[in-house]
Amino acid sequence: MIKVSNKTSCMVKPADQTWSGKLALSELDQTGVTTHVPTMYFYKHSPDDWLTVLQTLKGSLSCTLVHFYPLAGRLSAIAGGRLELDCNATGVQFVDAYADKKLTDLDTLLPSPIYHQLIPSIDYVNAPLEEIPLLVLQVTRFVCGGFSLGLSISHVVADGQSALHFVSEWARVSRGESLESSPYLDRKVLRAGDPPRASSRLEHAEFDPPPILIDQNGSEHEKETEVTMLKLTPIQVEKLRNKANTSRKSEISHGFTRYEAITAHIWRTACKVRNHKPEQPTALAICIDVRSKMRPPLPRKYFGNAIINVIATGNSGEIVSNPIGYSSSKIRDAIEKVDDEHVNSVIDFLKGQEDLSKFRDLQPSSSDGHFYGNPNLGVISWLTLPLYGADFGWGKEIHMGPGTHDSDGDSLILHGKDGDGSLVVALCLQARYMEDFQKVFYQDIDME
C-alpha cells in the first residue's frame, strides 16, 4: 500500500495586483454539480533538485493566476439560493508531498482509492463556503523521481474547457514561455435576458427527478461501486458506428458520431446487465458544450460554465430489444434540440426560480439530489477537450485522466493516449454489475 507523507500546504496568490470585487455568475455556473472536479497527471522524471521543481511550479502558478484571477477568489452565498464570486486574490491551495513507492509500484495509474491520497480532500460539510479554495492541487514526488499532479477545480468557476485552458497556460508559463491566450472573463454574455429572450414553452426535463428502480430494494446510491477503463480500438469504434448506422431510423439524415454510437452501446449494456424489468424507465444525461450553439457564438476562450444537460429517455426493454441505432437515435434527438433558443430558455427558466439552490449539487452520489445511477446513466464526452501534452518543463505526462470517480452510472469517453484513434470509456458502476458489463460490452461489439 502506498504511503503519502510529509505534506506541506501553502496558499499561492497572484503575482501582481488583480481586479477585486464581486463577479456575477451565470445561471449555468451555479446549477448542477458544484463541487470540485479532480484530474490527475503523472510524470516520469523530474530534476534531482526537487526544491527547484516546487519553486518553478509555484512561481509560474502565481504568474498564471494574474490572468485567471477568479480561481484565486472565493464563493459566497447571496439571496435566492444563488452564489457569487468574490475576486479577492485569497489564493489557491498548493500541497507538496512524498510517496514511499515508485510509479511502477502502482498497480495502475487509472482511477483507484490511491487517488484519494494524491488529491487534496475538501471538507464541504464543516468548512464555511467562503473559506474553500476554488483550486486545490497536490504535487507528490515518488522515490523513482517521477511525480503526480492532482488538481481539483470548482465546477462553479470552470467547466472542462476552461479548466484545461488554465492548465495549458500554466504549463506554458512554467516552461518559461509567454501566455498564448487570455481567458474571457465577462460572464454577462451568458446571463439571462430581461425581459426573457426565449420562448417559455420549451420543456426542461433535465431538471425533473430521474426515474427510480421499480420495486427498489434499498438505497441504490449506497451500493458499492467500482471503476474501470475500457479501451476501444479504432476497429471497434468503427464497428459500433457501422452497427448504429445500418440500423438507424430513415429520418436520420447523416451518420451517427462516435459519441452517439458508443454512448448508445454503454446505455444498452447497462440496461442488460442491471437486469431491469422491460417496463423500467431509464434516463441518460448528456452534457453539451454550448459555446458554438449560441448566436453569436461565445468568445473562444470564454472562462466559466458553458454546458447544459439534456436527457434521453426510454424503457429498458425497448433499449435492449431494439438494435443500437434505436438508442443512438434517442441520443441524437436529445442533442439536436440544443440551439440558441433552447440555451436561452434554460437560462431564463433558471433565472425565474425563487430558490436556485434546489438545482444545485445534483450529484450522482447524493442521497438528496438527483440520482443518475441505476437505472440511469450519465455519459460525458471529453473528445473535444485538449487533454494531453501538459509539459511543465520536465516532459509531457505519461498518463492523464479523471481523478476520483466513484459515482454509480458516471462515465466519460476520452481519446486514447497513443493518438491512434483508440478511445477509452472511464466507467463507474455498482461492483455487482461490473464483471458482466465488461463481458457484454465487448461481446456485443463483435456480434453480427
The Cα–Cα gap between 126 and 40 comes to 26
Sorted by where each starts, the structural domains of the chain and their CATH numbers stand as 4-190 (3.30.559.10), 211-446 (3.30.559.10)
For the segment 366-373, the average pLDDT, to the nearest whole number, is: 60
Has residue 369 got a pLDDT over 70? no
Give residue-wise pLDDT tens across range 245-265.
997 665 566 799 999 999 999
Give residue-wise pLDDT tens across range 104-143.
887 666 666 778 899 998 999 899 999 999 999 999 999 9
**Cα 87 to Cα 22, 189, 445, distances in angstroms:** 6, 19, 50
Pairing of strands 92-99, 4-12: antiparallel
The three three-digit cell numbers of residue 155, written as one number: 465546477
From the candidates 29, 36, 67, 155, give the one annotated as an active-site residue: 155
For the segment 261-285, the average pLDDT, to the nearest whole number, is: 97
**Cα 134 to Cα 13, 185, 279, 290, 309, distances in angstroms:** 12, 16, 43, 23, 23
For the segment 410-436, the average pLDDT, to the nearest whole number, is: 91
Among the listed ranges 47-56, 135-144, 171-180, which one has the minimum average pLDDT value?
47-56
Binning pLDDT at 50, 70 and 90, where does residue 26 land?
A: very high
Question: What's the pLDDT at 207?
Answer: 82
The Cα–Cα gap between 261 and 156 comes to 30
The string over 401-424, giving b where at least 16 C-beta atoms fall within 10 Å of a residue's C-beta and e elsewhere, is: bbbbbbbbbbbbbbbbbeeeebbb
Q: Is 339 a catalytic residue?
A: no
The Cα–Cα gap between 383 and 424 comes to 10
The pTM for the full model equals: 0.91
The three three-digit cell numbers of residue 166, written as one number: 488554465
Among the listed ranges 42-56, 209-223, 256-270, 333-347, which one has the minimum average pLDDT value?
209-223
Has residue 367 got a pLDDT over 50? no
Give residue-wise pLDDT tens across range 74-100.
999 999 999 999 999 999 999 999 999
From the candidates 86, 340, 391, 436, give the one annotated as an active-site residue: 391
Q: Is 49 a catalytic residue?
A: no
Burial class for 122, CB neighbours closer than 10 Å (0-12, 13-18, 19+): middle
What HEC string does 17-81 produce?
A: CCCCEEEECCCCCCCECCCEEEEEEEECCCCCCHHHHHHHHHHHHHHHHHHCHHHHCEEEEEHHH
Among the listed ranges 200-209, 234-243, 321-330, 412-421, which one has the minimum average pLDDT value?
200-209
Amino acid (one-letter) located at 276: H
More confident residue, 154 or 362: 154
The Cα–Cα gap between 308 and 298 comes to 14
User: What string of DSSP letters covers 286-355?
Assistant: EEEE-TTTSSSPPPTTB-S--EEEEEEEEEHHHHHHS-HHHHHHHHHHHHHT-SHHHHHHHHHHHHT-S-
Q: How many CB atoms lie within 10 A of CB 352?
A: 12
Has residue 32 got a pLDDT over 80? no
Has residue 448 got a pLDDT over 80? no
Question: What's the pLDDT at 203?
Answer: 64
